[in-house]
Structure 1
Amino acid sequence: MGEHEDLAGRRTRLAAEMERCGAWPADSPWLREAFAALPRDRFAPDRLWRWDGWAYVPLDRAVDPGGWADELYGGVHSAAVTQLTGGLPSSSLSAPSVVADMLDSLRLEPGHRVWDVGTGQGWTAALAAWRAGPGRVVTTEVDEHLAALARARLSDAGLDVEAVTGNGTGGGLPRGGPVDRLHATYAVETVPWSWVAAVRPGGRIVYPWGRLGHVALTVADDGSSARGWVQGLAQFMGDRTGPAQPSTGPAAYARVRADAEPEARRALDRDPAGLEDWHLRFALRVAVPDAVLFTEQREDGQAVLVHDGDRSWAEIRPGADGTPLLSQGGPRLIGDEVLTAWSQWEDLGRPDLYDYGVTVTPDAQWAWQGDPDTGPRWPIGTGPEPAD
């Protein structure tokens, strides 16, 4: 079987898998056609990177076309790493399900003017252009090398898209004035006000929010604010020009803890298995945004590890009699912060992640739950506290 036939089969299988798992948005049937017309392999570089458990190893299309295609079409929820910087991923082709979900959240219509912030390989800009029409999409990429490659791919696909090199986070309006839709492909904890100012009143901004979740904001009629609901659990690479997000995984935890002994230890009266609930995980992300939490299987059972990327850490693991024990250390008792947020989530009735939203003004940003005006609030970033 030739590569062309093999890729065609993988595209068909991906579309069928999207159907089986309900990943095709019902309100945006155009996405099926766009995915078929502009498959992700047309925008993939000839080298991808696969994690082998120890490090990222290259998969070259010319050397191992099957392995390359396996990585590119790993599944509806699987991203493909397309670039490393300092041994860590710095660009990727996002998971098909997440791309579809975010473009559905954008509520994109023909004729809309779109700013795609973070071109990467150019795939999302291409899909947006397929919907919006010729000359309606401008895409910005801070990496000049990536911008040039994406520009060539977009041209080869016959798409009229303006692809420019620049810092989308810190820049102002793209050429041509305000846009109807802004679609960001990298994560920011706080929304640059320049994004809100770039979108017409009533327009939408869809962006990955920090380490976990993506949000769709609608700009107010007077342009003085933007707010909207959480849409899903996307995990994207962070803004390369902004503050670094805490790293995840055992190695990051080990760096934070080093050889420190616990400064506090106590038994818990709750089952740490509850932390496997992703709605709870999202609530913790809102209330303790710098807390990185993950689980690790050890000889004595499953451990829950938490750190803040700096010097504070916590660990929950079974004691000798099976009772969960919390150990923690560092300048702050981050384990207690997580447990307090857990209790707050339960007191709120265990809301799901779609019951949270974000409000952005020129002076402050905050998350809320239930109701944007009367629900509980949590400040975002280091700006002023939200007003009651």
Structure 2
Amino acid sequence: MTDLAELHTRAAEALDITEPWVRRAFEAVPRHEFVPGTVWVVDGGVYRPLRRADDPDRWARMVYDPARAMTTQVDDGAPAPAGGDVPTSSISAPTAVVTMLAELDLRPGHGVLEIGAGTGYNAALMAERTGAGRVTTLEIDPDVADGARAALQRAGYGEVTVLEADGEQGWRLGAPYDRLVATASVSSIPWAWVEQVRPGGLILTPFRTAFCSHGLARLTVSDGCAEGRFAGAVTFMTVRGQRARPRIDGLFSTEAWEESRESRADLDVTVLGGAHAEFAVGLRLADVAHWPQDGGHWWCSRDSWAYAADGAVRQWGPRNLADETAQALAWWEGAGRPELFDFGLTVTAEGHRVWLGDPSDAWLPLAVA
């Protein structure tokens, strides 16, 4: 049998944890207590169940792999008999967990609202810092909420409050909170979150655009707004209410391909493989989805699409999405190739604005897909 305690110790040693309380919490909380006996792994292009009882050593090694997230639910709990298609709940990789907690600036006694209980593991880590009675975690899926509640009780954190609720609405009964942290990504910061955090408190949430899946917004709340910079590149599943994104299957057809405009590509798509370039372009083209496929690149908005491969581009619809991408990349190059850490976000009741360098120079209302 694999020694779970030994794996736990090795993981703690392997992780680069600079925040002392985060290290103490990681060492104190048994991660394996929060991982279900059945998880989901990709096999043959679909998600298939991996049961702890069938392969306990593999399951245990996955639990304490510092860089590995584990999918704990697919297709909102209703996978097809042949296997699952879309991961819909998980326990995040330890590297992502400790990175986010280090940015949270959590203090003893702080009141915390977590959006996305998942397995309950992150709530347990925060409870080690604040006290279990100071953490409230919301979960929209009733089965996932039940699992988190049971795991927290089993591991000794039964005073953490687990509520079945839509996290986008927050939880006003416990407000104001000192910290609000989301473990699911958003493309639009709900105003309810800002209203429920005290002035001077922090909101920490994964942030994405249709174009780019990674970003970590760290916002300080003041009277009438929340504002701050992007603190890192993390990728999380999207909150259920914001999953919608442009889909090409409703636009593309043989007829559309024949009608499309053909030109030479005036952009280097390989640059988009860099996290900072992709993030910057995503801020300017927030409502445009982009993905590589079989050596080519696709773009899609609500009414247009583009495809680039082998130096040629085909575009269809009222927008020229490849040209817009080239213009955004040229802007990024001209700005000195700023990193995602150089960008910031201001959220008010009227909407979102992104900025580069100085929030007084807000340069772009953020278009949400």
Q: Same fold (TM over 0.5)?
A: yes
Q: Deviations over 1:259-279 (max 9, x none)?
A: 341612222344332222211
Does the alignment pair 1:257 with 2:252?
yes
Q: Deviations over 1:320-374 (max 9, x none)?
A: xxxx222222343221221111111112111001011111111121111111112
The whole-number CA distance in structure 2 between the counterparts of 1:370 and 1:258 is: 43
Give the SS at the match of 2:240: coil
Does the alignment pair 1:56 with 2:47?
yes
Q: Deviations over 1:232-278 (max 9, x none)?
A: 111111111345245xxxxx767753434161222234433222221
Deviation at 1:169, TM superposition (A): 0.9
Q: Which residue of 1 aligns with 2:81?
A: none
Deviation at 1:147, TM superposition (A): 1.2
Aligned residues: CA RMSD: 2.1
The whole-number CA distance in structure 1 between the counterparts of 2:269 and 2:28 is: 46
- Contact preservation (8 Å) 2:109, 2:131: yes
- Contact preservation (8 Å) 2:266, 2:326: no
Give the SS at the match of 2:53: coil
| Corresponding letter in the other structure for 2:55 | D
Q: Which residue of 1 aligns with 2:134?
A: 136
Q: Deviations over 1:13-50 (max 9, x none)?
A: 3333323xxxx2x3x22111211111322111111111
Give the SS at the match of 1:293: strand
The whole-number CA distance in structure 2 between the counterparts of 1:285 and 1:103 is: 25
Q: Note the residue ranges of structure 2 that are not aligned, 5 or more in a row.
A: 79-84
Q: Which residue of 1 aligns with 2:15?
A: 18
Q: Which residue of 2 aligns with 1:230?
A: 230
> TM (normalized to structure 1)?
0.85
Does the alignment pair 1:359 with 2:359?
no
The whole-number CA distance in structure 2 between the counterparts of 1:292 and 1:339 is: 15
| Equivalent of residue 277 in structure 2, options 276, 280, 296 | 280
Give the SS at the match of 1:196: helix
Q: Which residue of 2 aligns with 1:105?
A: 103
Q: Percent identity?
A: 38
Structure-2 change in CA distance of 1:67 and 1:312 (3 Å):
farther
| Equivalent of residue 315 in structure 1, options 307, 316, 319 | 307
Q: Which residue of 2 aligns with 1:170?
A: 169
| Equivalent of residue 34 in structure 1, options 6, 15, 25 | 25
Divergent runs of 4+, >4 A: 252-256
The whole-number CA distance in structure 1 between the counterparts of 2:217 and 2:285 is: 18
Structure-2 change in CA distance of 1:127 and 1:347 (3 Å):
same
Q: Which residue of 2 aligns with 1:321?
A: none
Deviation at 1:127, TM superposition (A): 0.8
| Corresponding letter in the other structure for 2:23 | R
Does the alignment pair 1:376 with 2:363?
yes
Higher helix share: 2
Deviation at 1:131, TM superposition (A): 0.8
| Equivalent of residue 345 in structure 1, options 308, 311, 332 | 332
Q: Which residue of 2 aligns with 1:156?
A: 154
Q: Deviations over 1:43-73 (max 9, x none)?
A: 1111111112411111011112223234434
The whole-number CA distance in structure 1 between the counterparts of 2:330 and 2:245 is: 25
Structure-2 change in CA distance of 1:312 and 1:53 (3 Å):
farther
| Equivalent of residue 304 in structure 1, options 297, 302, 308 | 297
| Corresponding letter in the other structure for 1:182 | L
Q: Deviations over 1:92-117 (max 9, x none)?
A: 11121111111111110111111111
Aligned length: 354
Does the alignment pair 1:79 with 2:74?
no
The whole-number CA distance in structure 2 between the counterparts of 1:101 and 1:149 is: 25
- Contact preservation (8 Å) 2:180, 2:197: yes
Give the SS at the match of 1:146: helix
Give the SS at the match of 2:234: coil
